[in-house]
Structures are given as structure tokens and as C-alpha cells.
Structure 1
Amino acid sequence: MVVRLCSRGGLLPLLLFSPQKPKIYVPTAGRKAAYGTVTSAKVSVNGVHLHYQQTGEGEHAVLLLPGMLDPDPFPMGYSGSGETDFAPQLKSLNKNLFTVVAWDPRGYGHSRPPDRDFPVDFFERDAKDAIDLMKTLKFKKISLLGWSDGGITALFAAAKYPSYINKMVIWGANAYVTEEDERIYQGIRDVSKWSEKARKPLEALYGYDYLAKTCEKWVDGIGQFKHLPDGNICRHLLPLVQCPTLIVHGEKDPLVPRFHADFIHEQVKGSRLHLMPEGKHNLHLRFANEFNKLAEDFLQ
């Protein structure tokens, strides 16, 4: 099952403020029919209220890190939202083996306010938020599943908090920005030029103005790395990654060329590269069963 943003309001439980637990928001009910029992809540981390979802009872904690956007004409999930980006993973990853947490980074999804911004250290900031969220939730050690911008965030987290990371799976990520990348980003800058099918569900969640401004800010934010030496985002951190790492790449990904996956594979010692010939940017949604099995086998 794939959850679309247009269905999100009907699937997400109403969040209420709990006076018994200051700064924590708790759901009125779980969603057993869709995913089994899923907790939706907010918790205060680093001065913001971060929204997350949690499911499963396994000892192995896994954090799902969403990206920024998926401009595919078939919008199976909007990055920035843990629920919609990872519906098949919340539903189907083994709940006896894993406790799965999907989060909305600050400024995305239900982790608002604040509005999303993109200072030069936004990936590092997201990595700290993600790690501190999981520590707040009392997980002693975690594995990471990071998609797109979430894959970059995962690389930051693995490099900077090595003792806290068990294993990592990333896909659709890049460690630097090239002129080719910048051309791709500029092509999605103006949301008014997106297909209505891709744009309308996002407008329903964010409103047109916030969606348009956030997309423009993201293009500028990711583009600023091109002006750094070697277009560096996190290439200098890759040799510091110590955890077992699986890099998955869809060979038909229109947003992230193959050379990015090859570079990360070369720089992260002992990493594995798995190619999906028909995979695109959202391969974990289009080929959910194959991806989930791949991730489960690797994490075990």
C-alpha cells in the first residue's frame, strides 16, 4: 500500500497537547488497520517540536530519514514527511525484529513551526536533531535508512556520531554538487510548472505559498554547495563513516546520477553498492517489497 499526501489528513491521528507530559503531543488513537499500531507524537528537541511516528517492538531501532522533494510526475511520497515518504516501510518492515521511527525534520510535515530554512549547515543541523530525537526517545543505538536529502543527513550522522550508529542504508544521496546537478535542481524550482498531479497534494498539506517558497529556498540551499571547493556537501566526512553501509541506487534515477552512488561507495570503507536497474528516485516506494527485503537482510 502506498499512502499519498492527499490521504494524509485522513490517516494521521489528531494530535492533542498532553498536560501530563509538557512539550509532548500524543495521538488520540493508533492506526492498526493500516500499519499495525503506530504512535504519532511530537517531542521537544533542540528548541523545536519534532514530529515522529513509531511502530514495532523489536530490539533493533531504525530511523527513517526523509528527503526534501520528489518531483516525479507520479507523486508517491513527498520528502520531508516521514509518514508519506515511508508508508511501505512503516507498514511492512518486520515489527518483531525492528522498532521503526519515521520523523519530520524541522520545517517539514508536522514539525512546524518553524518554517524550513537552509543555512549552509542545514544537513549537520538535521543530523543533530535526528540523533537527539532518538536519544530523547531512549534508544541506546540505532540504524539509519536515509533517502535523498535524508541519505545525506544519515552520512553526517554516521560520521559525527559513530558510536551511536549500528548500520546504515542510503539511496538517492550525493556528497557534492556539480553543474549537472544544479541544472536538475533549477528544473524543479518553479512549482507552478509541476504537473497538477504532483503539485495539488502538496498544496493541500502546505498551502501553495509555503510549498513554492520552500522549493525555491531548497534549490538555493542545495545550490550553495556548488560554490564550495569541489562542490562539497559531506565528501570530507565519508572516510569517517565506520558503520556497515549499504548504498542502493536506481539506475533510472532522474535526480541523482549514478556517479554519486559510485563516489560514496568508493569513499565509505567496506560499503556495499546495490543497483536496481528499473529503480528511480523513489525506488523504496515503487519497488517496496524488494527494497524492504534488501534492507531487512542487511540490517540483520
Structure 2
Amino acid sequence: MLLKTKPFLFRTLLNFTKKYSTSIQEQVTKVNGQTINYVKTGQGNRNVLCFPGALGTIWSDFKPQINDLDKGKFTVIAWDPPGYGFSRPPERNFCLEFYENDADTAHDFMQHLGVKKFSLLGWSDGGISSMILAAKYPQSVEKLVIWGANSYVIPDEIESYEKIRDISKWSDKMKAPLIKLYTEAGLQKMWNDWCDAVTEMYEKNHGNICKEILDQIKCPTLILHGDKDPMVASEHPTYLESHIAGARWVPRD
């Protein structure tokens, strides 16, 4: 009986290895003239786009999801947003509309790949752009998961950004991989530009980022938020839950 079973087990193991052991390689494409660096893994019929946060990249923000989500159930796509990671050139443009621009480019990118419907995992700034994408393109977004996201900025947050504007105050663990990617001078410039852009939004838009579009989000939405998040005030998940129809907020330690 054991001898008869071994060939079956061997074939099963071989098929599993062929299906799941291939290394995940980054790819590059062009969308509307913009270089887009991305990875795509899995064979599932549930398409997921992973949307990194400020200065973030595929691997800095979504390595666990890329490696560990069930590849039989999900097709996971993660990208470096325009101007971040290896989605360069051109360099990042921190205009007042950069959140919406990222949302539009993400949508066009997925259509470019032939993925008509997908869910979104959005972290931090990627959560903001994911909300905008879900609101503008409801026919494309099936589900939305966001964490560390906000639809407006308050004075305390602007003050927090200024306190860490100088990257020399960051921990080595936080800045070392970003310096390797952008260089120290490049990282400082990019972070200065981000701080300036968000401060300008706060001053010109009375703190608003995307409050007006929240009621246009129609897909099931899960909101996660760390109680000790130093950058995003604790009032934001409550506001999002009360302004996105059917949203559910799950507090995290």
C-alpha cells in the first residue's frame, strides 16, 4: 500500500512545486508615459492591488502579503507608485493633486494589465489614494481594506510632520532602507516635498484631502488603525467609518 502511494505523493509534490516555487520577480511597464515597477504573483481569481504609503515600495510595505497570501485564491499585484521605488523616471511630483493622480494611475495600470475588477489593500498614503480610486471607479473596485489612512489633516498632525522633517532624527531602522534606495540627499528632498505638499493642502483646503468623496465609496470597506499610530490621529477611523456606507472599523494595538 505504501509503495503504491509514493508515486501519487511524488506527483502531487512535483505539481505543487512547479505551481508555487517560482521566484517573484519585479517587472516594469509604462502607463501614460510613467515607468511602473511591479510584481504579480498567484493564480487565484481574486485580484488584489497593494498600494504602498508615503515613500514606500512593494517590498518595504507589502512583503508579508506578497509572500503569504494564498496564491491559489488570490492574484496579488503590488506596485511602486509613480516616483517611488523603481517607478522612476520621472521623479515624484508632489503637486496638490498627488493623491488623486496616484489613484488615476493605479486604475489605468490595472486596466493596462487587463485586470478589470480588483480589491485594494491601501496603507497610509496608499489608503488615501485607494479611497479616491474606489470612489471614482466603483465599477472596478470589489473590496477595500485601508489602514493608517485619513481623509483630512488636523493641526497636531502638521506639527508632528514638522518634528520629523529632518531625517537625521529618524531611527536607523526606519531610514536605512530608504537611503539605500533614494540616497540620503534624495530621501531628505523627497520628504521635504511631501511635508510641503501636505502642509499646502492643509492651508489651502482647510485640512481637507478627500472628505467629499467618501459617500461615493460603494464597495465593502474594512478600516484598520493602530492605537499607537504616531502620524495619524485616532479620530480618523471613526470619521471614515461614519462616512463610508457599510464600512467596518477594527481597532489594532
TM-score between the two structures when normalised by the length of structure 2 = 0.89
Q: Which residue is 1:201 aligned to?
A: 177
What residue number does 1:45 align with? 31
Contact 1:53 1:83 in 2 (8 A): no
| Aligned equivalent of 1:110 | 86
The aligned residue for residue 141 of structure 1 is 117
**1:77-97: per-residue Cα shift (whole Å, max 9, x none)?**
xx2x01221010001011111
Partner of 2:225: 249
- For the pair 1:262 / 2:238, whether they are aligned, the reply is yes
Contact kept in structure 2, 1:226 and 1:232, CA below 8 Å? yes
How far apart are residue 140 of structure 1 and its match? 1.7
Following the alignment from structure 2 to structure 1, what is the Cα–Cα distance between the partners of residues 21 and 62? 11
> 1:34-183 maps to which residues of 2 (within 5 A)?
37-69=23-55, 79=56, 81-183=57-159
Q: Are the structure 2 counterparts of residues 35 and 132 from structure 1 closer, same or farther at C-alpha, using a change threshold of 3 Å?
A: farther
* CA–CA separation in structure 1 for the residues paired with 2:125 and 2:245: 21
Q: Percent identity?
A: 45
Query: Structure 1's 35 and 216: CA in aligned 2 closer, same or farther, altered over 3 A?
Result: farther
The code of the aligned residue for 1:103 comes to: W
Give distance in 1, aligned partners of 2:221 and 2:251: 14
Return the alpha-carbon distance in structure 1 between the equivalents of residues 233 and 117 of structure 2. Answer: 32
Question: Which sits farther off after the overlay, 266-275 or 39-48?
Answer: 39-48
2: CA distance between counterparts of 1:197 and 1:243?
36
The separation in 1 between residues aligned to 2:25 and 2:46, in whole angstroms, is: 17
Q: Is the 8 A contact 1:171 1:247 kept in 2?
A: yes
CA contact under 8 A between 1:176 and 1:232: conserved in structure 2? yes
Matched letter for residue 247 of structure 1? I
How far is 1:176 from its partner? 0.4
How far apart, in 1, do the equivalents of 2:88 and 2:76 lie?
22
Distance 2:100 2:68 in 1: 30
Task: Answer with 225-234 or 169-178: which moved more.
Answer: 225-234
5+ unaligned residues in a row in structure 2: which ranges? 1-17
Larger radius of gyration: 2
Instruction: Give distance in 2, aligned partners of 1:272 and 1:200.
Output: 35
1:226 to partner: Cα distance: 1.0
What letter matches 2:76 in structure 1?
A: V
Q: Hey, what's the Cα distance between the residues in 2 that align with 1:229 and 1:105? A: 24
For 2:187, what is the secondary structure of its paired residue? helix
Structure 1 residue 229, shift from structure 2 partner: 4.1
Distance 1:44 1:208 in 2: 27
Structure 1 residue 188, shift from structure 2 partner: 1.6
**Cα-Cα RMSD:** 1.6
Displacement after TM superposition at 1:158 (Å):
0.4
Higher alpha-carbon deviation: 148-157 or 182-191: 182-191
Q: Partners in 1 of 2:21 and 2:247 — Cα distance?
A: 31
* 1:59 maps to amino acid: N
For residue 157 of structure 1, what is the amino acid of its counterpart? L
Describe the superposition over 1:122-155 as per-residue Cα deviations: whole angstroms up to 9, x where unpaired. 0110001111111111112010000000000000
Alignment partners' CA distance in 1, 2:29 and 2:140:
20
